Chain A
Amino acid sequence: MDSKMDRIISDLSHHIRLNRGFFLWMGFLLLAFLACLYAYIQQLKYGLGVAGVRDFVSWGLYISNFVFFVASSLIGMLISAVLGLIGMKWVHPITRIAETIAVAFAAVAGLVIVMDMGRPERLAYVFIYARFQSPILWDVTVITTYFVISLLLLFIPMIPDLAVLYKRFGNLPGWLKPVYRVLSLNWSDHPEQNRIIRRSVYILLILIIPAALSIHTVTSWLFALTTRPGWDSTIFGPYFVSGAFVAGCAAVIIAMFFFRKNYKLQDYLTDLHFNNMGKVLVMVAFVYLYFNINEYLVPGYKLKRADAVHLEELMTGRFALMFWIVQVGGLLIPLILMLFRRMRRPLPLTIISAAVLVAAWFKRFLIVVPTLSHPYLPIQHVPENYRVYTPTLIEIAITLLSFILVLIIITLISKFFPVIPLVETAKDRGLDPLKNTES
C-alpha cells in the first residue's frame, strides 16, 4: 500500500514524533527560558529600575521589540490573504508557515507589552479605564482580534489534515491521537464540511486584511499621534506596514529554509518557492525603501530645528553607525542582491533574509530610542544614565525571553502538526486524501 497519497502523508508528517533532536532543542529553549525568566522575576521584584529605561527614554528595548513583533506577525495576512485571494497557487505550501509565524509573534507581542509594564498586575486597568480616544485601547483590541483571526486561519485549513493523519498516519504518536481526534472535528471530506471550511477561510481572509492593516497602523499611531521629531509623520502607518512586510517575508524565508532542511521537504518547498518569495521580498523592500526616502528626505529638506537635531543624531551622530548599517546593509544591499536570480536560491536568500531580519529589529530601535533621547525641553540636571540610554543585562535577557517564547510556540506547532497543508497538496495533485485512488 504505497500509493502516492501515502507518500505525501509520510513526506509531510514523518517529523511528527518525539526524537532526540527535539528534546535537545526544547531542553535548550526551556533552559534559556528559565534563565531569562529569572531576569523578569528580578524586574517584578525590584521594578523597572533594573532595566536601562529612565524618564526620558522610557520605552527602550521593550517597545522597539514590541513593534518588531507586531511587524513580523503581519506576514500571515500578506501571504494567505493578499497572495492567496488573487489566486497565486504557489503560496499554498507556505501559508501555514506564514500563519504559524503570525500566531507566534502576535501572541508574544501582547506579552512584550506586559514586560514593559511597571505594575503588570494592573493590566486589567487598560480595559477597565480604557479610553476610546487612546491608541492603546485600539492597539490592544486589534492585536487580540488579529491573533484570534490568525489562529483560526491556522487551524481551520488544518482540520482536513488532522482528520487524514488521524485515520491514515500509522506513526502518529499515541499521546497525540486524542488531540488530533478532537481537533479534526469528524471531518470526512463531506461536501458540506468542505463548504463550511471554504466559506470560513474565505471570510477570514477578507477580515484579516483590515485587521492586519489596523494592527500595525494603530501601533504606528502610538508614535505618530505625538508631535515629536521622527514620529510626527503622516505616513507612519504605511511606513510601518511596508516595513512589517519586509521583516515578515524575511522571517518566513528563514523558516522555510529551516523546515525544508530539517523536515526534508525539498519536494514541497522547492527553489521556485524561494525564488518567488525572494521576488515578493524585493517588491515589499522597494515599497519600504520608497517610504524611507519620504520619511527622511522630506523633513531633511525642510530641516525644522528639532527635526534637524534628530536627523543629525541619526545620520552623523550617536546612532549613525547603526543607522547606516541598517539602511545600507539591511535594506539597500539585500534589495540589489535579490534582483539577481542566483541570489534567490534557498541558501543565499536565507542569508540575505537573516541580514534583513536583524536589521529590521534594529530599525525599530532606531525609530523608538533617538526620538525619546531628544525631547523638546532640554534634558537638564539629571544623572548620565537618564541622558544616554544603555540597555541593562536584565533588559536584554527579558527581550530574549520574548524571542524564546516565539521559538517555543513555532517549534511546538511545527513539530506536532504538518508544516505543509497536506490535503490541499493532495488535491492540487488530483489525489483523494482519504482513499488511495486518484479522485
Chain B
Amino acid sequence: MNRPLFILLLVFAAAFRVLAQNPAWVVPDDQKDRISPVKFTTAMAKQGEGIYMKNCQSCHGIPAKKNFAAIKPSPGDLSEPKAGNQKDGELFYRITTGKAPMPQFGNILSEDERWSVISFLRSFHKGYVQPEPGKTTVAGKRIKLSMTCDTVKKKIIVKAVEITKEGPLPAKGVGIAVFVRRYFGDMQLADSRLTSEYGYAGFDWPQDLPGDRSGNVILTARLSDPSQNMQEAMVRDTFAIGVPSDKPSLTDTRAMWSTRDKAPVWMILTYTLSVIVVWYFIIFIILSVLDIRKIKQT
C-alpha cells in the first residue's frame, strides 16, 4: 500500500472514531419548526424559572453564571449562543427526548412546563424574537382528552374527541397511555391502547396501587404516539382508586437518620452521660490540682 493512501485511511479512521464516540444530537426536521402555542410572558418565564431550578440547574447551573457542572459532555450554560441560536422547536425536542446523560423530560414535565422553561431561557437570549403563535407550521388534528373512572367495572375510561370545524367528533383508533404520578416523573400504569369507534379506551389498574392517606392517586392520560397529523394532548386528574396508605414519613420518628431533635433517646443519653462523667472527673482533677498551691510545708 502506498504511504499517502495509508495516511488518508488512518485519518478517516480517526475521524470516524471521533464521530462514533460523540454522535451529533440531531433534531428531526419536522420537530425543528415547532413553536410555542402561546406568547411567552414574564409570568410564564417566572414559572419556567422555578421548574428550571428544580430540574435543570443541578447540571446546567444558573443561566449566565457559567456555573454548570463539570461533566462530559459539558452541559454548558444555556444563556450562551449555543442554545440561543437554536430554534424553539429544537430546544423543545432536546428537553423532551433527552440524550444521556441528560434525562428525557417528556414524561416528567408537561408540554406547558417545557415551554415555560424555554420562555425562561429566552429571557437570556439577546435579540430573540418569538415566532408568532398560531402561525404554527406543525399543524395537525386537535384532540381533546377527558378521563373518568368507572368504579363498578374498575376501569379508567379515557375519551378522545377530535375538535373539527364542524364541532367535536369521537376520535377513533387513537393511541392512549395512562400514567400515575410518583416521586419523580410519571410511571405508565398499563399498556397503551387504541380508542374504540366511539373514542373510548379503558384501562385496568393494579388493585394494590398505593395512594395517599385518602387513597388518591394522580393520573395522566396522553396520546401515546402523537405524530405529525396530531397535536399533543393530555389530561390530568386525581382519583380515589389507590389503597389508602398512611406511611409516616421516615423522618417523622426518632431514628438514626433523623435530625438532631429526633435522635434516638438511648443515643442522646449515652452521649450526654459519657460526656458528663468524663468531664466531671477532668474538672474535679483540675480543681484539686489547683489546690496544691494552698498546701504549705510546715
Q: How far is the CA of A298 from the CA of B255 in the complex (A)?
A: 31
Q: Nearest Cβ in chain A — how far from B289, in angstroms?
A: 6
**Cross-chain contact B256 with A380 (CB below 8 angstroms):** no
**Cross-chain contact B71 with A133 (CB below 8 angstroms):** no
Which residues of chain A from 8 to 66 have any CB-CB distance to chain B below 8 Å in the complex? none
**Cross-chain contact B72 with A156 (CB below 8 angstroms):** no
**Cross-chain contact A207 with B268 (CB below 8 angstroms):** no
Residues of B within 8 A of A211 (CB): 278
Q: Check A86 for interface membership: any CB of B closer than 8 A.
A: no
Which of B285, B291, B293 contacts A152 (CB under 8 A)? B285
**Cross-chain contact B285 with A190 (CB below 8 angstroms):** no
Which of A132, A148, A188 contacts B263 (CB under 8 A)? A132
Closest A residue to B74 by CB, please name it.
Answer: A381
**Cross-chain contact A133 with B70 (CB below 8 angstroms):** no
Q: 1/0 per residue B252-267: CB within 8 Å of A?
A: 0000111110011001
Known: A141-B275, A188-B297, A207-B281. A133 touches B257 (CB 8 A): yes
Chain A interface main SS type: helix
Chain B interface main SS type: helix
Q: Check A138 for interface membership: any CB of B closer than 8 A.
A: yes
Which residues of chain A from 192 to 250 have any CB-CB distance to chain B below 8 Å in the complex? 192-193, 196-197, 199-200, 203-204, 207, 211
Q: How far is the CA of A192 from the CA of B281 in the complex (A)?
A: 19
Q: Check B271 for interface membership: any CB of A closer than 8 A.
A: yes
Closest A residue to B270 by CB, please name it.
Answer: A132
**Cross-chain contact A131 with B260 (CB below 8 angstroms):** yes
Known: A130-B260, A149-B282, A381-B101. A196 touches B291 (CB 8 A): yes
Q: Check A171 for interface membership: any CB of B closer than 8 A.
A: no
Q: Nearest Cβ in chain B — how far from A151, in angstroms?
A: 10
Residues of A within 8 A of B282 (CB): 145, 148-149, 152, 207
**Cross-chain contact A185 with B292 (CB below 8 angstroms):** yes
**Cross-chain contact B296 with A152 (CB below 8 angstroms):** no
**Cross-chain contact A192 with B288 (CB below 8 angstroms):** no
**Cross-chain contact B289 with A185 (CB below 8 angstroms):** yes
**Cross-chain contact B292 with A193 (CB below 8 angstroms):** yes
Q: Which B residues fall within an 8 A CB radius of A?
A: 70-73, 101, 256-260, 263-264, 267-268, 271, 275, 278-279, 281-282, 284-286, 288-297
With A130-B260, A207-B278 given, can you name 13 additional A-B contacts, CB distance below 8 Å?
A131-B260, A132-B271, A133-B258, A133-B260, A145-B278, A152-B282, A159-B292, A185-B292, A193-B292, A197-B289, A200-B285, A203-B285, A207-B281
* 13 A-B pairs (CB sep. < 8 Å): A132-B263, A132-B271, A133-B267, A138-B271, A148-B282, A152-B282, A185-B292, A188-B296, A190-B295, A190-B296, A197-B292, A381-B101, A382-B71
Q: Which A residues fall within an 8 A CB radius of B?
A: 129-133, 137-138, 141, 145, 148-149, 152, 156, 159, 185-190, 192-193, 196-197, 199-200, 203-204, 207, 211, 380-383, 386
Query: Which 3 residue pairs are nearest across A and B when measured between Cβ atoms?
Result: A188-B297, A132-B263, A381-B72
